Amino acid sequence: MENISNMRKIDLVTSSVPAFNTTMGTGIVNDNVSSRSELDELLTRVGRYKDKTAFATLFSYFAPRIKSFLLRLGTDMSTAEELSQEAMIMVWRRAETFDPSQAGASTWIFTIARNKRIDRLRKDGRPLPDMLDPAMMPEQPETGLDAVNRNEEEDKLRQAMKKLPEEQAKMIFAAYYEEKSHREIAEESGLPLGTVKSRIRLALTRLRANLDEVER
Residue finishing a domain among 120, 136, 152: 136
Quick one: 193 and 99 in the same domain? no
Quick one: 186 and 115 in the same domain? no
Cβ–Cβ under 8 Å, residues 43 and 95: yes
Quick one: 29 and 132 in the same domain? yes
Quick one: 19 and 101 in the same domain? yes
Quick one: 115 and 25 in the same domain? yes
Q: Which domain holds residue 191?
A: 144-215
Quick one: 184 and 148 in the same domain? yes
What does residue 24 show for φ and ψ, rounded to 5 degrees? Answer: -60, 115
10 Å CB burial of residue 28 (0-12, 13-18, 19+) is: buried
Q: Is the pTM of this model over 0.85?
A: no
Give the Cα separation of 104 and 34 in Å (integer): 12
The dihedral region occupied by 109, where left means phi > 0, alpha psi between -120 and 50, and beta the remainder, is alpha
Domain count within the chain: 2
CATH classification of the domain holding 178: 1.10.10.10
Amino acid, single-letter form, for residue 172 = I
**pLDDT tens, residue by residue, 103-143:** 889 889 998 998 898 888 887 665 544 444 444 445 555 55
Quick one: 60 and 129 in the same domain? yes
**pLDDT tens, residue by residue, 154-181:** 778 888 888 888 888 888 888 776 667 8
